[in-house]
Amino acid sequence: MSQVRSPILLTPGPLTTSDKTRAAMLRDWGSWDSDFNQITARIRQQVLRIVHGEASHECVPLQGSGTFSVEAAIGTIVPRDGHVLVPNNGAYCQRIAKICKVLGRRVTTIDYREDQQVLAADVDRALAADPSITHVALVHCETGTGVLNPLHDVALVVEKHGRGLIVDAMSSFGAIDIDARSTPFDAVVAASGKCLEGVPGMGFVIVRRSTLEKCEGNSHSLAMDLYDQWIYMGKTTQWRFTPPTHVVAALDEAITQYVEEGGLDARGGRYARNCKALIDGMAALGFRSYLDPAIQAPIIVTFHAPDDPKYNFKTFYQEVKKRGYILYPGKLTQVETFRVGCMGHFGEAGIPGAVAAVADTLEAMGIRQGVAAAAVT
């Protein structure tokens, strides 16, 4: 029976994965079996190596989407009387602030426009003005727009003030450098289905060991208690509750391919080339990217929608999908946009193919030019 080719996912996750990664899910595993537990242990070590955190940090995996792990990190690391500062320049920063409110953690935000980068100087001023703030929660790559926030600069400011730093690195981990030896952080949160090119279904939190040791009793939740998960894994090598076995096996295989490709430099370099090819190709069609190139992460790009009465995102999406590519809607409220991801296992020919699909779609929809905003400099 012939196999229909799946569309290429140009989204911020799930991503298009390799045949080897998908094949790794064809075996069933016993969750208490020593062979499976060795896979979990191997992933934990490999993840620590990516941030050079073997000597100082622990990797605690958790079932669920990346947001589950972000919530677990906030709930476990921030004490119940803690106070979290969230520099807010997008949808995922707002999600962290909402998590804090739901968990009953006091939260303060520094609000920016969605096309602005967080400024370390603003964090510095906020921490100096309010000694009750115990932690800063920073989104490294704000996936709502694609803006890259200055993690290293913010980390040094937070350390200077003696506060804790929790980093949502969901869309950057494995492609944009985070070095625990020079960038101080209490926790970095990431997931299986992003730049490591595994499948969705588990997250992991890289926590400073000395921080984690003090977290007993903080968590609001049994299932999301990272301290308890860490202690149990240390004693038994097992997950506390049924793990996503097939997801874990797929991530193990994906990390093997990550290392074979050349690790962070190679993966990040491929995404950067994809990003440049995408922006250049879409510009040739009249599309203007939403962000200043100086703050654009090579992960996902937001584009202004065509200023044409014939444009409708649902139709545009379906027409591009027919041509073999899946895009992502915009997350902005004031401006109509759409997003195109630069990550996934589709090779460097994938982006030119996507641009060609967009060009063909514009023609099919009778849209003669990309965006009126393209004429604005």
pLDDT at site 74: 98
Pair 154, 166 in one domain: yes
Shared domain check, 317 and 170 = no
Q: What is the pLDDT of residue 370?
A: 55
Q: Are residues 167 and 128 in the same domain?
A: yes
Quote the crossing angle between the two packed helices 34-50 and 245-261, to the nearest 10°: 40
The model's confidence at residue 1, banded by pLDDT at 50, 70 and 90, is very low
pLDDT, tens only, 317-363: 999 999 999 999 988 767 899 999 999 999 877 999 999 999 999 99
Closest to 87 measured CA to CA, from 178, 179, 150: 150
Nearest to 157 by CA among 119, 189, 130: 119
CATH number at residue 154: 3.40.640.10
The backbone torsions φ and ψ at residue 12, rounded to the nearest 5 degrees and listed phi first, read -80, 15
**Neighbour-count burial for 93-119, b at 16+ CB within 10 Å, e otherwise:** bbbbbebbeebebbbbbbebebbbbbb
Number of domains observed in the structure of the chain:
2
159 phi and psi angles, rounded to 5 deg: -65, -40
**Number of Cα atoms under 13 Å in the Cβ half of residue 56:** 14
pLDDT in tens, 258-308: 999 999 999 999 999 999 999 999 999 999 999 999 999 999 999 999 999
Q: Tell me, yes or no, whether 7 lies in a domain.
A: no
User: pLDDT (tens digit, 9 = 90+) per residue, 202-237?
Assistant: 999 999 999 999 999 999 999 999 999 999 999 999
Q: How far apart are CA 241 and CA 314, in angstroms?
A: 40
Q: Domain residues for 326?
A: 263-375
**In terms of pTM, does the model score above 0.85?**
yes
Answer with the one of 200, 226, 260 that is the final residue of a domain: 260
Residues 220 and 300 in one domain: no
| Of the residues 239, 260, 281, the one at which a domain ends | 260
Instruction: Give yes or no: residues 222 and 323 share one domain.
Output: no
What span, in angstroms and rounded, lies between the C-alpha atoms of 97 and 95? 5
* DSSP letters spanning 54-94: TTTEEEEEEES-HHHHHHHHHHHHS-TT-EEEEEESSHHHH
Considering the domain architecture, whether residues 187 and 159 belong to the same structural domain is answered as yes
Say if residue 166 is in the same domain as residue 297.
Answer: no
Query: Domain boundary at 206, 240, 260, which?
Result: 260
Q: Which two tokens stand for residue 48?
A: 């620590």
- Tell me if residue 31 falls in helix, strand or coil: coil
| Residue 146 tokens, joined | 């694609």
Examine the domain organization and report whether 161 and 180 are in the same domain: yes
- For residue 273, the SS3 value is helix
- Looking at the domain assignment, is residue 346 inside a domain? yes
List helix spans (H) across 199-262: 209-212, 226-236, 245-261
232 shares its domain with 329: no
Query: 3-class SS at 207?
Result: strand
The reply to whether 267 and 247 lie within a common domain is no
Same-domain pairing of 314 and 217: no
- CATH number of the domain residue 270 falls in: 3.90.1150.10
My answer on whether 191 and 324 are in the same domain is: no
